[in-house]
Amino acid sequence: MNGQQRSNIQPGKEVDIVLKQDQRSGKLTRGIVKDLLTKSPNHPHGIKVRLEDGQVGRVKNIHS
């Protein structure tokens, strides 16, 4: 699943995000969603989330 639809993402899900400083390289960071920061139902670059460890980025992949 991709991370562009807010309805696909809930707190507690394991996701891959791209951090702001990693946008050029595309390096992904895996973690568990704590908060959803994007309010709109979808976003072309991915829904912005905060992970349980405090890192913030846009969701690229969702793991089931």
Write the pLDDT tens digit of every residue in 32-55.
999 999 999 999 999 999 999 999
Q: Is residue 1 part of a domain?
A: no
Closest-CA residue to 3 (of 54, 37, 22, 21): 37
Q: Residue 42 sits in a domain of what CATH number?
A: 2.30.30
- Check residue 54 and give left, alpha or beta (phi > 0: left; psi -120 to 50: alpha): left
pLDDT above 90: residue 64: no
Domain limits at 21?
6-63
Tell me the percentage of the chain whose pLDDT exceeds 70. 100
Question: Based on the structure, what is the number of domains in the chain?
Answer: 1
Q: Is residue 35 part of a domain?
A: yes
pTM of the shown model: 0.93
